C-alpha cells in the first residue's frame, strides 16, 4: 500500500512516499481502507522527535491518529462492525498509522462514521473533538448555566470546545482568538469573543467557572483572578510539572488545576456522531491536502494559525 513514512525525526522534509506492507491486524482490530486522515499538533511533535522518549527510534514510522474509512477485514473478536461499514476512529497505538491507504483500527476506539459529512470532515473529528468533550465533561465537570472561557477557540480543539460547551449546557461561553476568527467563533455559538491581540482576558473583571486553556499559553496563576472561588482551569499540556500542580490543587480547597489527556473510546465517538447528525456540532476545516502533500499539511499546522482542522484526503 501507499503510505507517507518517516525514517528519522526532523522537519516536514523527512516525510517520504513509500510502498509498504498493509498492517497486520490483531483479533480485536479491523483493517480499514482509509479515505481521509487529519493533522493534529501531536503528529508534528512526534515527527520532530519531541516525544521520542515514548515513540522510540524504530523506523520507518507512519504518523497520524485520525481516520475515516471503510472496514475491509475484521479480526476474530470483532462484534460491532463488518466488512463494508464506514467508520471513524482515533488510532490508539503509537505513533499512529493514519497517513496511509490502510490502517489497523481497534474496535474499542471506532464508531460508525457520521452519515451527513464527508470522510475529510469525519477524520477531522476524533482526536480534537474527544479532547474538547473529555476536558469539559470529565475534567471540568461542566454544569448547566456555567460561565466557560475557551482560550484558543478557533483551532482544532477550540472550534469543537465552543460547540460542546453549549451542547453540555454551558451558560455564557466566551471564546478567545485573534481578530480574523472572531466571526467564526461567534457563529459556533460563543456569546462573547475576546480578541487576544487587543485585550488580555486574564486582566478582565469577568469571572468564569471553567477556563479551558486549549492554546496552552496562559498559566493557572494568570487565570486565578478570573476564576470563581471553586472554578476549574484545564490545560491541554500534559507535562509532569502540570500534573504536580494539578495534584497540589486536588489536596487543597478552592480552585482546581486539571490536565486533559485524551483517552480514545468508541462511546464518545458515538456521542459526537449523534451531535453531528442532529446538526448541533459542525466541523470546521481550514485546508485539505492530498496524502502526497502531508509535509505541507504539517508545515501549515506548525504555524499555529490554522482555523479549525487540517484534513488529508487519501482515497475517494
Give the total of residues touching ligand NAP (CB under 6 A). Answer: 32
Give CA angle at 223 (217, 43), nearest 5°.
Answer: 25
For ligand NAP, the closer of residues 23 and 152 by Cβ is 152
For ligand NAP, the closer of residues 44 and 102 by Cβ is 44
Rounded to a whole number of angstroms, the minimum distance from the CB of residue 39 to ligand NAP is 9
**Options 21-29, 100-108, 139-147, 255-263: segment touching ligand NAP (CB under 6 A):** 255-263
269 binds ligand NAP (CB under 6 A): no
| Residue with the CB atom nearest ligand NAP in the bound state | 155
Among 128, 129, 133, 194, binds ligand NAP (CB under 6 A): 128
Pick out residues in 166-205 that bind ligand NAP (CB under 6 A): 176-178, 181, 196
238 binds ligand NAP (CB under 6 A): yes
CA atoms of 275 and 130, how far apart (whole Å): 12
CA atoms of 52 and 276, how far apart (whole Å): 35
Cell of 50: 519531541
42 binds ligand NAP (CB under 6 A): yes
CA atoms of 122 and 311, how far apart (whole Å): 9
**Options 7-15, 16-24, 142-150, 209-217: segment touching ligand NAP (CB under 6 A):** 209-217
Rounded to a whole number of angstroms, the minimum distance from the CB of residue 21 to ligand NAP is 30
CA atoms of 130 and 259, how far apart (whole Å): 14
231 binds ligand NAP (CB under 6 A): no
For ligand NAP, the closer of residues 30 and 311 by Cβ is 311
243 binds ligand NAP (CB under 6 A): no
Rounded to a whole number of angstroms, the minimum distance from the CB of residue 262 to ligand NAP is 4
Q: Which residues bind ligand NAP (CB under 6 A)?
A: 40-42, 127-128, 131, 151-152, 154-158, 176-178, 181, 196, 214-217, 236, 238, 260-262, 301, 304-307
Amino acid at each position: 500500500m501507499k503510505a507517507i513514512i518517516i525514517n528519522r525525526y526532523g522537519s516536514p522534509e523527512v516525510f517520504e512516499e513509500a510502498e509498504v506492507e498493509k498492517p497486520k491486524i490483531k483479533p480485536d482490530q479491523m483493517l480499514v481502507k482509509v479515505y481521509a486522515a487529519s493533522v493534529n499538533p501531536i503528529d508534528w511533535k512526534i515527527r520532530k522527535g519531541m516525544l521520542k522518549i515514548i515513540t522510540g527510534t524504530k523506523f520507518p514510522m507512519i504518523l497520524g491518529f485520525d481516520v475515516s474509512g471503510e472496514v475491509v477485514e475484521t479480526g476474530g473478536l470483532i462484534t460491532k462492525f463488518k466488512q463494508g461499514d464506514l467508520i471513524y476512529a482515533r488510532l490508539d497505538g503509537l505513533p499512529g498509522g493514519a497517513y496511509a491507504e490502510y490502517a489497523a483500527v481497534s474496535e474499542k476506539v471506532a464508531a460508525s462514521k457520521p452519515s451527513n459529512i464527508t470522510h475529510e470532515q469525519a477524520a477531522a473529528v476524533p482526536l480534537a473533538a474527544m479532547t474538547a468533550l473529555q476536558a469539559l465533561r470529565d475534567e471540568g465537570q461542566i454544569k448547566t448555566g456555567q460561565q466557560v472561557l475557551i482560550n484558543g477557540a478557533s483551532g482544532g480543539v477550540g472550534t469543537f470546545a465552543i460547540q460542546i460547551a453549549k451542547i453540555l449546557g454551558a451558560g455564557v461561553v466566551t471564546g478567545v482568538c485573534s481578530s480574523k476568527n472572531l466571526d467564526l467563533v461567534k457563529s459556533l455559538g460563543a456569546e462573547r469573543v475576546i480578541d487576544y491581540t487587543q485585550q488580555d482576558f486574564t486582566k478582565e473583571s469577568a469571572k468564569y467557572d471553567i477556563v479551558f486553556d486549549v492554546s496552552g499559553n496562559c498559566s493557572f496563576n494568570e487565570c486565578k483572578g478570573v476564576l470563581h472561588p471553586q472554578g476549574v482551569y484545564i490545560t491541554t499540556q500534559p507535562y509532569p510539572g502540570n500534573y504536580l500542580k494539578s495534584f497540589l490543587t486536588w489536596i487543597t480547597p478552592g480552585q482546581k488545576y486539571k490536565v486533559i489527556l485524551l483517552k480514545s473510546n468508541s462511546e464518545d465517538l458515538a456521542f459526537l456522531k449523534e451531535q453531528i447528525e442532529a446538526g448541533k456540532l459542525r466541523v470546521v476545516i481550514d485546508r485539505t491536502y492530498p496524502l502526497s502533500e502531508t509535509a505541507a499539511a504539517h508545515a501549515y499546522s506548525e504555524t499555529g494559525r490554522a482555523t479549525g482542522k487540517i484534513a488529508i484526503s487519501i482515497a475517494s
